Amino acid sequence: MSILGSYNDWIFVILLMIGLYGVIARHNLVKKVISLAIFQTAIFLLFISMGVRTGGVAPIIQDDPSITYASPLVQVLILTAIVVSLSVFAVALAIIVNIRRAYGTIEADEIVLIDDRQEEAGEGTP
Amino acid sequence: MIEAHLPVLVVVVLLLGAIVTVLGGGGRGSWLVALAAVATSFFLALRLLEKVVSDGSVRELLGDWPAPWGIELHVDLLGAIIITLVTGVGLVTTFYSYRSVRHEIAADRVNLFYSLWLLAITGMVGICVTGDVFNIYVLLEVSSLAMYSLVAMGKDRDRRALPAAFNYLVLGSIAASFILIGIGYLYMLTGTLNIDDLHQRLSQLPQNRTLETAFAFLMVGLSIKVALFPLHLWLPEAYSRAPTAVAALLSATATKVGIYITFRFVFSVFGTDTGFLGVSNSTILLTCAALAIVFGSLSAARQKSLSRILAYSSVAQIGYIVLGLALLEKNAVEGALLHTVFHALMKGGLFMVAGIYIYRLGSNDLDRLRGIGRKMPWTSAALVAGGLGMIGVPGTAGFISKLYLLRGTIASGEWLLTAAILLGSIFAAIYVWRVLEIVYLQKATDDREIKEAPLELLIPTWTLLGLSIAVGLHSSWVVELLEGAAAAMLGGNG
């Protein structure tokens, strides 16, 4: 197998790493969530490209036995996974809205600073 | 009719409860619905456990589709034990939550809180009944999403709950994605998602790189979910900022279900008879586990609040469990299972004690707890009972599980691990003593009148801690039950 032959795997790995880097390196919480989205989309591509067959058609059963079909199961699995990741983003964004209300910022480093200052002032748990 | 559908009913009752509680509105109603749902589920779980003990594992085909195509529910002894544990602890913490939730969460959100509460338990129980790896992923996300939101609901007491919940969410999602990638590679290799089928086909495959990659992704993902050192960073923040009832529930059940999934993948999917699990695979896990024990206990001794001490102690206890699991030796695996159950009882009870202090004092920072032992004797006695269990003093449940783990490390000749377990117990004695010294021997700094905790909080706390002492004194039946589960795991196909 040549290096370019498995190009779908390369795309998967590159997207996965871009996403993971973004989650770690970005301070802005919304950008972290967007990076998480890229990370999870990469996995969807891995699954869907798994189901491809050369010359395969959409898996609707026809009488002709010579037809090859693309695997429908991985697509169903990913449909579920998309719903799951959608819910993750909904919860994540809801938490970010609440963080903005409580702290007045959505930058992770500023939030840490605010908490440290509060702890030094001895305010502790209200 | 009910007998045949026990595996699915135990989950559906909770799911229906989660929907009804939202409609129930605020007030006492939503709590009653939640209590009824968890109690019913616990009752069904006991029936299920009884059935599994007498007739062996229970299978159910959803919609009557035969196994590799349809989704099969499969409850074996380990699954039934964990379901009983989760619903049982869930019942006690639900009882406990009535007062503390009213105290910590705005009244108009109480019904939503209980809906999330039930969804979290639904997901955890669902994981234990299913025989399909993709189902495990989906249900893991169902329970995790509910848990992120539950942690975030601690914002009414402490706004730091929000960043804690966000970090938990990001790490939890990355973990779940890694697990999904692992499942993807397994599917690529075998073309099936059914656990029994996977095991059969994997045992016919030669050693290959894809299989190793799948195992690595699964283990890293699961290590984040169970908070194995050095991937534990989300845990102390999340547990110490969450509403107190949530901290008690999560510490007792969430990581335990993660451990269950790890057991499932290691023993039921990969299996000890395939020749895949070898020394090379477990060295990394053993190293992390040993470091978790030492580092977790050491960090616990340096924390400033009781909640955070307990949270770091959890990191150490996860180390004990993973150590037993990764040794792949009979005594050690039994010890890991025993520790999973016993730690759930002890840590759940201890987090309830931490919650009671917050309920009465507004905080459980150590300098606020000076001399509290005289003002709240029953609560503080519970702290002693749980603390001794954490150290592993003879007569408590913690002693028995650590004894099995020690036997396991000695039997496999891993002296460094034996040393790690003993060192961990010494550090545990230090952090427990540090708290007890403040609670009992130091003079109170403020003279405010502080009443003993209300009975609604004390009874559930003592139920869990009393149970942990009871099994410490009369352990034979629990040990026998878990030995059976361990034997089934090690015997290959669980």
Is A102–B162 a contact, with Cβ atoms under 8 angstroms apart? yes
Among left, alpha and beta (phi > 0; psi -120 to 50; other), residue A28 is: beta
Q: Which residues of B touch A110 (CB under 8 A)?
A: none
Number of domains present in the structure of chain B: 1
Q: Which parts of chain B register pLDDT below 50?
A: 492-494
Q: Does a structural domain hold residue B243?
A: no
- A24 is a domain residue: yes
User: Is A126 among the domain residues?
Assistant: no
Confirm whether A2 is domain-assigned: no
Measured in degrees and rounded to the nearest 5, phi and psi for residue B442 equal: -85, 155
- A 10 A CB-CB count for B480 gives 9
Q: What is the pLDDT of residues B66-79, one digit of tens each?
A: 767 778 888 888 88
Determine contact, residues B121/B90, Cβ cutoff 8 Å.
yes
pLDDT tens per residue across span B325-353: 888 778 888 888 888 988 898 899 999 98
| pLDDT value of position B175 | 93
pLDDT digit string, tens, across residues A67-119 = 777 778 888 888 999 999 999 999 999 999 999 988 888 888 888 888 888 87
pLDDT at B494: 38
Find the closest chain A residue to B241 by CA distance: A125
Q: Encode pLDDT of B382-434 as tens digits.
A: 888 888 888 888 878 888 888 888 888 888 877 888 888 888 888 888 888 88
Query: What is the spatial distance between Cα B71 and Cα B55, in angstroms, rounded to a whole number?
Result: 22
User: Chain A contacts of B149, Cβ < 8 Å?
Assistant: 91, 94
Least CB-CB distance to B177: which of A32, A39, A103? A39
Across the interface, of B148, B163, B177, the residue whose CB is closest to A99 is B163
- How far is the C-alpha of B140 from the C-alpha of A32, rounded, in Å? 22
Q: Which residues contact B167 (CB under 8 A, 6 or more apart)?
A: B233, B234, B237, B238
Q: Helix (H, G, I), strand (E, B), or coil: what is residue A24?
A: helix
A62 lies in some domain: yes
Buried residues in B359-393 as b, exposed as e (16+ CB within 10 A): bbbebbbbebbbbbbebbeebbebbbbbbbbbbbb
Residues in A touching B170 (Cβ below 8 Å): 23, 32, 36, 92
Q: How far apart are CA B378 and CA B374, in angstroms?
A: 9
**Is residue A105 one of the residues assigned to a domain?**
yes
**Looking at the domain assignment, is residue A99 inside a domain?**
yes
Structural domain contains residue B332: yes
Residue A33 pLDDT greater than 90, yes or no: yes
Residue B2 corresponds to which tokens in the numbers above? 């009910």
Is A13 a member of any domain? yes
Q: How confident is the model at residue A7 (pLDDT cuts 50, 70, 90)?
A: confident
What is the secondary structure of B66-83 as a DSSP string?
A: -TTTSPEEEE-HHHHHHH
Q: Would you tell me how many other CB atoms lie within 10 Å of the CB of residue A7?
A: 11
For residue B426, count other CB atoms closer than 10 A to its CB: 10
Amino acid at B469: I
Exposed e or buried b for every residue in B84-108, given b needs 16+ CB within 10 A?
A: bbbbbbbbbbbbbbbbbbebbbeee
Over residues B283-304, the pLDDT tens digits come to: 888 888 888 988 888 888 888 8
pLDDT of residue B171: 92
* Chain A, nearest residue to B168 by Cα: A92
Q: Hey, is the C-beta of B304 within 8 angstroms of any chain A C-beta?
A: no
Q: Is A5 helix (H, G, I), strand (E, B) or coil?
A: coil
Dihedral sign from CA coordinates of B290, B89, B61, B63: negative
Contact A46 B184 (CB under 8 A): yes
| Tokens 């890293």, located at residue | B220
Using the beta-carbon criterion (under 8 Å), do A43 and B180 form an inter-chain contact?
yes
B106 close contact with A: CB closer than 8 A: no
Q: State how many domains chain A has.
A: 1
Question: Which pLDDT score, from 0 to 100, does residue B183 have?
Answer: 92
Per-residue pLDDT of B207-231, as tens digits, reads: 778 888 888 888 899 999 988 888 8
Which residue segment(s) compose the domain that A46 sits in?
A: 7-120
Nearest by CB to B155, from A85, A96, A102: name it: A102
Q: What is the pLDDT at residue A126?
A: 41
- Short-list B430, B254, B406, CA closest to B344: B254
Summarize pLDDT for A35-79 with one digit per residue, the tens. 999 999 999 988 888 877 777 777 777 777 777 777 788 888 889
Residue B383, domain extent: 278-494
CB contact under 8 A, B166 and A29: yes
The verdict on residue A1 lying in a domain is: no
The CATH number given to whatever domain includes residue A114 is 1.10.287.3510
Residues B131, B264 contacting (CB under 8 angstroms): no
Cβ separation B138–A80 shorter than 8 A: yes
- The complex's ipTM? 0.90
Which of the residues B65, B130, B132, B169 would you substitute to probe the A interface, choosing the one with the greatest number of A C-beta atoms within 10 Å? B169
Nearest CA to CA, how far is A94 from chain B (Å)?
Answer: 9
